[in-house]
Amino acid sequence: MRRELEYFFAALRFFTRLPAPGWVGHSAEQLNHAARYFPLVGVIVGVIGAGVTLAALQLWPVQIAVLLGMTATLLATGAFHEDGLADSIDGCGGGWTKEQVLAIMKDSRIGSYGAIGIGMALLTKFAALSELLAVLPAPTFVAALIAGHGVSRCAATTLIYALDYVREDASAKAKPLATRLGKGELAVAALFGLLPCLLLPATQTLVALLLTALVTLFAARYFVRRIGGYTGDCLGATQQLTELAFYLGLLCVGPFQAQHVPLWGAASAFASVGG
pLDDT by residue, tens only, the chain of 275 residues? 777 888 899 899 889 999 888 777 666 667 777 889 999 999 999 999 999 999 999 999 999 999 999 999 999 999 999 999 999 999 999 999 999 999 999 988 899 999 999 999 999 999 999 999 999 999 999 999 999 999 999 999 999 999 999 987 655 555 555 456 788 999 999 999 999 999 999 999 999 999 999 999 999 999 999 999 999 999 999 999 999 999 999 998 766 654 455 655 544 544 444 55
Whether residue 114 is contained in a domain is answered as: yes
Residues 6+ apart with CB under 8 A from 198: 262, 263, 264, 267
How many independent structural domains does the chain possess?
Answer: 1
Whether residue 132 is contained in a domain is answered as: yes
16: helix, strand or coil: coil
Whether residue 191 is contained in a domain is answered as: yes
Whether residue 19 is contained in a domain is answered as: yes
Whether residue 267 is contained in a domain is answered as: no
Domain housing 67: 2-254
Whether residue 228 is contained in a domain is answered as: yes
Q: Which sign does the torsion angle of CA 119, 121, 122, 126 carry?
A: positive
Question: Quick one: which of 151, 230, 241 has its CA closest to 190?
Answer: 151
Alpha helices in 62-111 (DSSP H): 62-77, 80-94, 98-106
Whether residue 265 is contained in a domain is answered as: no
pLDDT at 20: 84
93-99, Cβ contacts within 8 angstroms, sequence gap of 24 or more: 93/117, 98/166, 98/226, 98/227, 98/228
pTM of the shown model: 0.89
Whether residue 245 is contained in a domain is answered as: yes
